[in-house]
Structure 1
Amino acid sequence: MLGHAGRLCFSRSVAKISSNVHRNLISRQMSQVRHVSGNSSSNEDEVILETHGNKCVITLNRPKALNALNLNMIRKITPALKQWENEEKVLIIIHGTGGKAFCAGGDVRSIIESRNQSTSTLSSDFFREEYQLNYLISTLQTPYIALIDGITMGGGVGLSVHGYYRVSSEKTLFAMPETAIGFVPEVGGTYFLPRLTGKLGMFLALTGYRLKGADVYHAGISTHAVNNKENIEIEGCLAKFTKSASFLQQPFTLEPHMPLINDCFSAPSVEEIISRLQASNDPFAKDTLATIRKMSPFALKITKRALDEGSEQTLAECLQMEYRLSQRFVADHDFPEGVRALLIDKDQNPKWKPSSLEECTPEKIQSYFEPVKDELQL
């Protein structure tokens, strides 16, 4: 199990939770809000916004789509957060309906399909406004609590990791699987992943490895944890429930592999990462190697560079870099091809171009990081 040094800690969050008085106030206010798993799913609204006195609740309400985030949802959440911040609400809670997912990602299928519409601006609007929402969450003075119960991937990560607290359960499944669809871990992924312990973030980014249950907490993704099965009120979850979450007694399953992960994924290039994995007789290394070889070679190269650069950048700078990357990926081959193969036709057989790491030229890689016409404004 990782110790305190292994937690994902942003200096802003640490400063905000340092006051016991402030923490106790949050706990008292949270006692009136229940963690419900989906009895509002019949509501036609894709996002349900509620206020209970000076507390606010955001419910992601697309259970059949595993609460995948779309532009309509972003445009409802963003002004609500700004309004609640101005009204000095004492806390904001966000959760998902349906019992299976907090948010399984962004609705990338719609984005890719919109490319066939000459007048559509969805591919630019979605990423611009999503990243602006991610940044807004990071700047909120109002405590923002994400209940990441169930599947939490891609866009769902962006709705959670940049806020005050992330509360996971034994049902939480976390991943950034973008390289499998020819894309890059974004929504601030190039910022928070390099700041996980050791080279865990690089490993998660390149392989799309899925963290489950206790591993989400041990890896430092969630700040607190509760037992889902208890259906308890979340009063005191900032301390009490994390201590009593029985599933956290399970060790961090990647702990035995961290020396290998740190050694291999500290390599200066994707090629060297693969070389080090090949040189190992560890079955975990062989499994990891098999996974990486399924990914888009170009996405792997871009992801490696983006995380390396992101480790030295602010969140705002990372989001601006990710916006440039998103626009290049949408307009190129691998991202649409990955979405086709995994999400549309579901033949699980993407044809990557370039088809090998050797064919990924430095010139093309550099072009992805160049400024775009309409830069992201934060």
Structure 2
Amino acid sequence: MSAGVLGSRVRLASLQRLHILQAHLNVLPRGTSRPMSSRDGPEGEVLLQTSGCAGVITLNRPKALNALNLSMIRKIFPQLKKWEEDDQTSIVMIKGVGDKAFCAGGDIRAVADAGKAGGSLIQDFFREEYILNNAIGTLRKPYVALIDGITMGGGVGLSVHGHFRVATERTLFAMPETGIGLFPDVGGGFFLPRLRGKLGLFLALTGFRLKGRDVQQAGLATHFVESQKLAALERDLVQLKCPSQKDVAGVLDAYQAQSCAGREQPFVLEEHMQDVDRLFGGSSVEDVVRRLEAERSPFAEKQLQTLKRMSPTSMKVTFRQLASGASMSLQEVLAMEYRLSQACMRGHDFYEGVRAVLIDKDQQPKWQPASLEQVTDEMVDGYFQSLGSSDLHL
């Protein structure tokens, strides 16, 4: 392949990645079924309903790609706990309105604005989001997330820790946080290192996008069902009588068996998995970069160019986050990630990343420090230090 063609492909991939990252960030800071909340405005941003045996959570901000904000978290969490104790509720389902997104992430713009103004949202949002993530991960009843459309950041936290995650041909999964001076949170330190080989670290550092059936093949979704079958799937689930986890799995298995889209396609990274394991199996981010530089293959060059755009601090923090999280419980990981979130709020790169991608849209963040070599171990240590009485306890 000529250098010109390779360069064109790298630039195209870069533009596509930036568009997805903007979708992840560009959320507006707005605030027989028995609807518990169905009005327009902030009260209608999330709909909480019971239908048959199920408690149903519907994210209702389609214009903002169903982005998660604090008021939504504060509605979902108590209702989830009520359903967990309710004898009439056997399963919980979560879905998003519209055909573009399940949930494109958290309301990062509002968090950045609060951080600049010294507002408490920078503590409250992350603390309460992680508490909700833990509640999903420890729920005693089957939890089914219909991740139809964009599923990133906060949307991953609302789905990946549950028992069942149903991807469709429209699902687009990514954790692009290193591109805005953050890290793959919402329990990323727990589920990413538990994917096969070095796939989790690869996804975390590069923000690589997985689509459709690839989300299941990566181990992030448990099932694949064509989007046109979701309405029927939902009806069959809510009509179950006191279903067990096995009963729910049986229904999902049956719908998956009827879904042929992409069945014969290999995993998008299958031919590169040995490369991923070898190249991202380094002892540090610098080691990963050195391996990519020495490889001189189109695949390695593409990943190298991607990493060069990311925040050096975020990459080093993420590398340690996943290395530590591999042997931690979900609760320990979320407590660690709360410390990391607050360190990011005190730092420079998060605000600079939001500026470059969302506000000025020049796509030219000026990271501080600007290179991996300038990010010392002591700097990274500071991100993991205890917050004392402000630590998150689960």
The TM tier, using the shorter chain, reads 0.7 to 0.9
Shift of residue 117 of structure 1?
2.8
**What do residues 209-252 of structure 1 show as CA deviations (whole Å, max 9, x unaligned)?**
00001110110110011111345511354211212221232210
- The match for 1:243 is 257
Residue in 1 that maps onto 2:362: 347
Task: Please state if 1:94 is matched with 2:94.
Answer: yes
What amino acid is aligned across from residue 218 of structure 1 in structure 2? Q
Does 2:277 align with 1:257? no
Q: Distance in 1 between matches of 2:311 and 2:251?
A: 40
Give runs of aligned pairs for residues 180-191 of structure 1, distance below 5 A. Answer: 180-191=179-190
Rounded Cα–Cα distance in structure 1 between residues aligned with 2:217 and 2:49: 32
Corresponding residue SS for 2:156: helix
Q: Which residue of 1 aligns with 2:7?
A: none
Q: Are the equivalent residues in 2 in contact too, given 1:41–1:98 (CA < 8 A)? A: no
SS state of the match for residue 44, structure 2? Answer: coil
Mean CA deviation greater in 146-155 or 81-90: 81-90
After TM superposition, list the pairs within 5 Å mapping 1:123-162 onto structure 2: 123-162=122-161
For the 8 Å contact 1:41–1:97, the answer to whether it is kept is: no
CA contact (8 A) 1:66 1:100 kept: yes
Structure 1 residues 1-80: aligned runs within 5 Å: 45-80=44-79
Q: Which residue of 2 aligns with 1:114?
A: 114
Distance 1:291 1:81, change over 3 A: same
Q: Are residue 376 (structure 1) and residue 375 (structure 2) matched?
A: no
Aligned residues with identical type, % of pairs: 55
Whole-angstrom distance in 2 between the partners of 1:241 and 1:287: 37
Give the Cα–Cα distance (whole angstroms) in 1 for the partners of residues 259 and 127 of structure 2: 38
Q: How is 1:167-246 mapped onto 2 (pairs within 5 angstroms)?
A: 167-234=166-233, 235=236, 237-246=251-260
Q: Which runs of 5+ in 2 are unaligned?
A: 1-31, 237-249
Partner of 1:11: none
What is the distance in 1 between the residues matched to 2:213 and 2:264?
A: 8
Seen in structure 2, the aligned counterparts of structure 1 residues 225 and 69 have a Cα distance that, compared at 3 Å, is same
3-state SS of the aligned residue for 1:233? Answer: helix
Shift of 1:282: 2.0
2:373 is equivalent to residue 358 of structure 1: yes
- Give the aligned partner of residue 353 of structure 2: 338
CA contact (8 A) 1:105 1:154 kept: yes
1:326 equivalent in structure 2: 341
CA drift of 1:52 comes to 1.6
Q: Which amino acid aligns with 1:328?
A: A
SS of structure 2 residue aligned to 1:271: helix
Q: What amino acid is aligned across from residue 110 of structure 2 in structure 1?
A: S
* Partner SS, residue 249 of structure 1: coil
Q: SS in structure 2 opposite 1:253?
A: coil
Q: Distance in 2 between matches of 1:116 and 1:179?
A: 20
In the alignment, is the contact (CA less than 8 A) between 1:320 and 1:376 conserved in 2?
A: yes
Task: Give TM-score scaled by structure 2 length.
Answer: 0.84
2:345 maps to a residue whose letter is V
Contact 1:101 1:151 in 2 (8 A): yes
1:166 lines up with 2:165 in the alignment: yes
The one-letter amino acid paired with 1:100 is: K
Query: What are the ranges of 5 or more consecutive residues in structure 1 without an aligned counterpart?
Result: 1-31, 34-39
Partner SS, residue 287 of structure 1: helix
For 1:364 and 1:310, locate their aligned partners in 2 and report how far apart those are by CA, in whole Å.
19
1:54 deviation in Å? 3.0
Count of aligned positions: 340
1:153-206: CA deviation from partner (whole Å, max 9, x where unpaired): 000000001011000000000000000001110000000000001100000000
TM superposition shift of 1:41: 10
How far off its partner does 1:299 sit? 0.4
Q: Check conservation: 1:109, 1:344, Cα contact below 8 A.
A: no
On the 8 A contact 1:146/1:163 being kept in 2, the answer is yes
